[in-house]
Each structure stands twice: as structure tokens, then as C-alpha cells.
Amino acid sequence: MEEQLQERYLRQLVMDEVGKEGQVKLAEARVLVVGAGGLGSPVCLYLAAAGIGHLGIVDSDTVSLTNLNRQILYTTPDLGRPKVQVAKEKINMLNPSIEITVYQVPFSGETAMRMARSYDAMVDATDNFKTREFINRVALQTGKPFFHGAVSHFYGQVMTVIPGAGPCWRCFMGDIAPESEPKGVPVLGPVAGVVGSLQALQVLKYFLGAGDQLVGKVLMFDGLQMTLEALTVARDSNCPACQGY
């Protein structure tokens, strides 16, 4: 490992769970982050800082003023610019040694399937039921694990889905989709920071083979009471999404 990179990652290289071997695993990992907003911002920053070798970032949106209370990748001069382009610039400034591919398109259809197949894992950093359901379907069809996160108000949740190893996202959510969703989800910025950080932590642990994953569990964060609670989720034998996988 180059001396400069060794110094960059020193505080994690000295950990038993990481070391040089673990750092190589991170450098070889390819992670697709779907959504570059309130959750995607801390996810991308922490994965890049830790040395994930290749990040893919999917988001078709541009930076708006309402984003800035929680989407820490962006600043006021970025208003109106494509999120993925700004994200790439900011992440490159943080860690120029990693590769970044950006996709300024919706995550949908066969395009999304092709994207997913070229990565080792996905992060669900989206903010709507329809896209989350589609990410779940893509994960099942491609066999790629994904790391789900969601926030609203003072609350958040995190879940890991590894196809074939436990329940899928639909096993947890069931069949009921909301008839309509608010255009903007109310949330206090640090809540997105907490949940996005937990997602990034799960991704890093997955590639390092360290600790437990939230497979068959949903970690619920309550920012008002300052509690974390892990709920058990069983695989649904009648789940319309993961039956047959």
C-alpha cells in the first residue's frame, strides 16, 4: 500500500477488523448508491472516506434550496446543478484515490438492472415507496445485497437484504403501498445523518466480514427518545416479491 494511502486510512488500518487485508477488500468493492440526497450524502462521504474503491451514484435531480437542511454534499453555490455532478466533485476532493461513476437518470427498467449487475452491492438511499420496491426487486433478480434506509420527522430505519439469506424488504413492508406520498418528506437533518451513517457502517462491515448484519432485523431509530431498537422480521413464505428466490 502506498505510504500516502496508508496514512490516510491509518485510524482504521490499526483495527483488528480492518488491517491491510480488510483495506484491500474495501478498495476492491464496488457499491451503487441509489439516491444522492439526505441519506445518500453521508453514505457516499463515509464510504469514500473509508476507501471503497468504486462508487456509483444514481440521481436524476438537481440541487434545490429545500435540500440544504440535510443534504450535506451540497452548498448554496450548487443550486440548480445536477446532484450527481456536484457529488462527484465533492467526493473527489475528499478522496481522489477512488473511482466514481455517476448516472443522472431515474433508477428504473432494464437500465437499472444493468447498473446493478456491475456492482457488488447497492444502497437504498431513496425517499419513496415505488423506488424502494423496485430496488428490492432488482436485488432479488440480480442476487445483489442492498442496504435500506428511510427517514421521516425524528425517526428512521435501517435494514440489510441479502437475497436468499433472509427476508426481503417486502416481507417487512407487506403488500400495502401508500395511495399517495408527500412530495417532500418532513425530516430534521441530523436524523438523515444518523441513518445514512448506519447504512454506511453496514456496508463497510459487509465487505470486511465484521460483526452482524441486519438480516432479518430492522433497526429503528427514535430521535425524540434517543433510542435504537432492533425488530425481528421473518421471511414471508407468501411474499409476492421473494417467492422463488
Is residue 240 assigned to a domain? Answer: no
The reported pLDDT for the residue numbered 88 is 99
Q: Which stretch of 81-90, 157-166, 175-184, 204-213 has the lowest confidence by average pLDDT?
A: 175-184
The reported pLDDT for the residue numbered 182 is 60
Dist. CA 201–CA 204, nearest whole Å: 5
> Over the chain, what is the mean pLDDT?
95
pLDDT in tens, 220-242: 999 999 999 999 999 999 999 99
Mean pLDDT for the stretch of residues 69-78: 98
The reported pLDDT for the residue numbered 3 is 86
Domain count within the chain: 1
The reported pLDDT for the residue numbered 181 is 59
As beta bridge partners, residue 34 has 58, 124
CATH code of residue 138: 3.40.50.720
Do 165 and 5 meet the contact criterion of CB atoms below 8 Å apart?
no
The reported pLDDT for the residue numbered 4 is 87
Do 130 and 107 meet the contact criterion of CB atoms below 8 Å apart?
no
Do 101 and 52 meet the contact criterion of CB atoms below 8 Å apart?
no
pLDDT in tens, 104-120: 999 999 999 999 999 99
The C-alpha cell at 137 is: 426487486
β pairing state of 54-58 and 99-103: parallel
Is residue 239 assigned to a domain? Answer: no
Residue 92 pLDDT > 80 = yes
pLDDT in tens, 169-208: 999 998 766 655 567 889 999 999 999 999 999 999 999 9
Q: How many CB atoms lie within 10 A of CB 195?
A: 27
The reported pLDDT for the residue numbered 12 is 98
Read off the pTM: 0.96
The reported pLDDT for the residue numbered 245 is 82
Q: Which domain holds residue 13?
A: 3-232
Dist. CA 213–CA 56, nearest whole Å: 22
Mean pLDDT for the stretch of residues 30-44: 99
